[in-house]
A and B are shown apart, each in its own frame.
Chain A
Amino acid sequence: NAGVTQTPKFQVLKTGQSMTLQCAQDMNHEYMSWYRQDPGMGLRLIHYSVGAGITDQGEVPNGYNVSRSTTEDFPLRLLSAAPSQTSVYFCASRGEGNSPLHFGNGTRLTVT
């Protein structure tokens, strides 16, 4: 059971470039989410989805797009990367009811 898989593990971008962070889960979870982790700021919710075709904004959505075409996948798109988006990004999913969040191992993104 792979759980939540994030790719790539590391990425360096130049300002203005675009990229997609991939997230896939094999637990048939309806809920998926993206967080960014910055020193001294904890984790902040970017976007989340409660099922295929349904997404909503979290605390810090600006500069990021998401879509959810399947239950398994929830990619995060940066259309025009900025240095302020340098961070570690975590994807998480959970099942129904009171079940806990399952986190991926993160993607470390540097924007120069």
Chain B
Amino acid sequence: AQSVTQLGSHVSVSEGALVLLRCNYSSSVPPYLFWYVQYPNQGLQLLLKYTTGATLVKGINGFEAEFKKSETSFHLTKPSAHMSDAAEYFCAVTVNTGFQKLVFGTGTRLLVSP
């Protein structure tokens, strides 16, 4: 069965600093990988996804992630943090082409200080 591990339940950065949120996956077959963001008292929104093709994936709000098969990783980055990026971020994986069973990580809360 597939799974994801998100290292660090909380990450703190200063406004303007690099954001790096880590995600490692486990899957016996090629995975499909996703990053979602959750703002307070809201549902989750898709940031970006990797299905096939280019391993560097660009998403909304300036975020991007790189699929590295050799490292089984899909880390999320943003060159310069903004106060509005403060939220909880979830990495997710599925191996089902119908995306029927999406398995989420435990989440990383990003704190951005002025």
Contact = CB atoms under 8 A, between A and B. Distances in A.
Contact of B98 (A44, A50, A59, A104): A50
A100 interface: yes
Interface residues on A, range: 20 to 34
Contacts of B101: 45, 48, 58-59
Contact of A101 (B102, B106, B107): B102
14 contacts: A4-B43, A31-B98, A43-B44, A44-B104, A48-B100, A50-B98, A92-B44, A100-B49, A101-B102, A103-B44, A103-B45, A105-B42, A105-B43, A106-B43
Give 6 closest A-B pairs by Cβ, nearest first. Answer: A103-B43, A100-B46, A43-B104, A42-B104, A42-B106, A103-B44
Which of B36, B42, B45, B104 gathers most chain A CB within 10 Å?
A: B104
Contact of A42 (B51, B98, B100, B105): B105
B90 interface: yes
B70 to A, nearest CB: 24
B49 A104 contact: no
Given A31-B99, A40-B9, A48-B101, 18 more contacts: A31-B98, A43-B44, A43-B104, A44-B104, A45-B101, A48-B100, A59-B101, A98-B51, A98-B99, A100-B34, A100-B46, A100-B49, A101-B44, A101-B99, A103-B45, A104-B43, A105-B43, A106-B42
A61 to B, nearest CB: 12
Contact of A31 (B46, B90, B100): B100
B41 interface: yes
